[in-house]
Amino acid sequence: MDPNAGRTMTAEARPGWRSAGAVAGLIFAWLAATAGLRPLMLPDEGRYVGVAWEMLRSGDWLTPTLNGLPYFHKPPLFYWITAAAMSLFGTHEWAARAAPLLGAWLGALAMFLFARRWSNPRTARLALAALLAQPLFYVGGQFANLDMLVAGIISATILLFADALLRSDAGLPFQRSLAAAWAMAALGVLAKGLIGIVIPALVILALLLLRRGRGWRAFVGWPGPLLFAALAAPWFVAMESRFAGFLDYFFVVQHFKRFAAGGFNNPQPFWFYPALLLVFTLPWLPSLWRLGRRGRELDPAGGALRQLMVAWVAVVVVFFSLPQSKLVGYVLPALPPLAFLVADGLANLGLPSARARRLWWGGIVGAALLSLGTVFGLTAHPRASSRELAAVLAAERSAGEPVFLLNRYDFDLPFYARLRTPVLVALDWPRTQSHSRDDWRKELADAGRFASAAADATLLDRAALADAICRHPVSWVVGAADAGAGYPGYAFLALAPVAFTGRQTSLWRVDSTAPGIAGRLGCAAGIGGALAAR
């Protein structure tokens, strides 16, 4: 790279913070405009927002809980952001999606500013347009799980490290960018664990290898790693001090075993992510093809940026292709560099015909329409959601009346019904303690390992359900619409009034003092037995 590149930037290419602020506002407006339209989608959105809701209503911002039980599948940054947003803006879907919105905003803005500084303004604008129109990026930016949050942080981390390297090459001060990169990496670890530092480290290592090691001295020194440890370590230390075995569960089980072993959700072949990215970049393949063929004709500085972006895409795709479990959101960190390469091919090489250029911009428009159409489609025809049932429960339930879930755990129910105490989940728990599938049963059973007394109180064996209901004059039961006919212990539901039915799910109001219901339940003294048993 030209060592004087940083000194010879034109005035147009220098960062203008006023215009950057306008771009930042436009990015956020585009991503956030439709974020509150649709209900939370189960299981992921309901699970993570439900944990944040429990954090907000309990006031314990240190320990994430799922139905009152310590939940250590993921670190806390998503929950902190979501709970804070709901505290400020209210408990609704838009606030519940604040964390992915911030992640997408951060990743897009970081790529725009980096491309404008080290490439040119046109490439920056084109890259931003391609990225924001990308359906995976747009929908991911308003899907309330951890993937887009960590993808945005990883992107910002890589670009800050790269900025430090390029500044060092140009003889410019780079320590501030380097410190910001280490701090951002710490946030990445707090967002989703070790990938917050592992992916950026692998990308920068790959870049240094492509440069034959040139520039590695910029990363030598202790201040950065010390800053990283000071920001990332305290929460993990606090959790281990509170819950013995936390570190083993979090890092060994949820990181290394999850990466190396099978048995987790959504196994896919090795080529899953390359095929996925190929499909979502079809309109821009001519641009990428010409860049691959003629990229060496361009300036050396631009070649260094292309090396970075190619290494970035390759690391993300290969790393997440190794484990059997593959979810679409894992590949989100590859989208910003792919958008840069798409833009670079058009901005610096052009396309050979007006038809090809129309195809490029048609891809932008088509991708944006597909993004909006996906959100509107999910709004008009939402997938599994407890929002309607929860509205009835919140309106009709009195304080102190317990809620029982039969053979299920609806992650979004506490959020939508504004429940302030854990629900009671009836299932044959002893049999499911060793359940290998990564679902709600295993998540609750694993969480119960860290709080056995709370688990005994909330995770009920089905045979104990009748006795638990008898302890309360009125209880609310959620289950499959035909639950009363599917298990003899649930036969009392045939006598209870149905408060809501929808999507093969029903809500019953169970009065344990009613003669027929008390008899079916076997309450101690028939009418009024529930009160006597309390």
Per-residue model confidence as pLDDT tens digits over 129-187: 999 999 999 999 999 999 999 999 999 999 999 999 999 988 999 999 999 999 999 99
pLDDT score of 437 = 65
Q: Band of the pLDDT at 14, cuts 50, 70, 90?
A: very low
pLDDT tens digits, one per residue of 323-351: 888 899 999 999 999 999 988 888 776 66
pLDDT score of 504 = 87
For 504, phi then psi, to 5°, come to: 60, 25
Q: Band of the pLDDT at 265, cuts 50, 70, 90?
A: low
Q: Is residue 8 over pLDDT 70? A: no
DSSP 514: S
Q: Is residue 2 over pLDDT 60? A: no
Question: Which residues share a beta bridge with 463?
Answer: none
Q: Is residue 217 over pLDDT 90? A: no
Lowest-pLDDT range of 58-67, 87-96, 181-190, 426-435: 426-435
Q: Band of the pLDDT at 359, cuts 50, 70, 90?
A: confident
- Going by their DSSP bridges, the two strands 69-70 and 65-66 should be labelled as antiparallel
Q: What's the CA gap between 126 and 343, in Å, rounded? A: 5
Question: Which residues share a beta bridge with 510?
Answer: 475
pLDDT score of 294 = 66
Mean pLDDT on 492-510: 93
Q: Band of the pLDDT at 370, cuts 50, 70, 90?
A: very high
Q: Is residue 263 over pLDDT 60? A: no
Lowest-pLDDT range of 13-17, 72-76, 500-504: 13-17
CB 384 within 8 A of CB 41: yes
- Going by their DSSP bridges, the two strands 65-66 and 424-426 should be labelled as unpaired
Full-model pTM:
0.92
More confident residue, 218 or 115: 115
Q: Residue 324 in 3-state DSSP?
A: coil
The percentage of residues in the chain with a pLDDT greater than 70, rounded to a whole number, is 88
Q: Band of the pLDDT at 373, cuts 50, 70, 90?
A: very high
Cα dihedral 15→21→24→25 (10° resolution): -160
- With residue 66 as reference, give the H or E element that holds it: strand 65-66
CB 184 within 8 A of CB 103: no
CB 310 within 8 A of CB 253: no
Lowest-pLDDT range of 238-247, 394-403, 429-438, 476-485: 429-438
∠ CA 55-432-330, nearest 5°, is 55
Q: Whose structure tokens read 């290969």?
A: 318
State the DSSP string of 331-375.
GGGGHHHHHHHHHHHHHHH--SSHHHHHHHHHHHHHHHHHHHHHH
Q: Residue 501 in 3-state DSSP?
A: strand
Q: Band of the pLDDT at 533, cuts 50, 70, 90?
A: very low
**Nearest CA-CA partner of 374 in 151, 140, 127:** 140
Calculate Rg over the CA atoms of the chain: 26
> Could you tell me which residues come within 8 angstroms of residue 42 by beta carbon, excluding any fewer than 6 positions away?
383, 384, 385, 386, 410, 411, 412
CB 321 within 8 A of CB 405: no
Q: Is residue 231 over pLDDT 90? A: yes
Q: Band of the pLDDT at 9, cuts 50, 70, 90?
A: very low
pLDDT score of 285 = 75
**Nearest CA-CA partner of 11 in 100, 120, 109:** 120
CA distances from 189 to 127, 196, 309, 439 (A): 27, 5, 22, 24
Q: Is residue 258 over pLDDT 90? A: no
Q: What's the CA gap between 128 and 394, in Å, rounded? A: 43
Q: Is residue 314 over pLDDT 50? A: yes
pLDDT tens digits, one per residue of 269-295: 889 999 999 988 877 777 776 676 666
The percentage of residues in the chain with a pLDDT greater than 90, rounded to a whole number, is 68
Q: Where are the beta strands (DSSP E) in 243-311?
A: none
Q: What's the CA gap between 33 and 198, in Å, rounded? A: 33
Length of the chain counted residue by residue: 534
Mean pLDDT on 219-242: 92
Amino acid at 174: F
pLDDT score of 73 = 92
Residue 44 CA neighbour count, 13 Å, CB half: 16
pLDDT score of 293 = 64
Mean pLDDT on 439-460: 92
More confident residue, 523 or 27: 27
> Could you tell me which residues come within 8 angstroms of residue 168 by beta carbon, excluding any fewer than 6 positions away?
174, 215, 217, 218
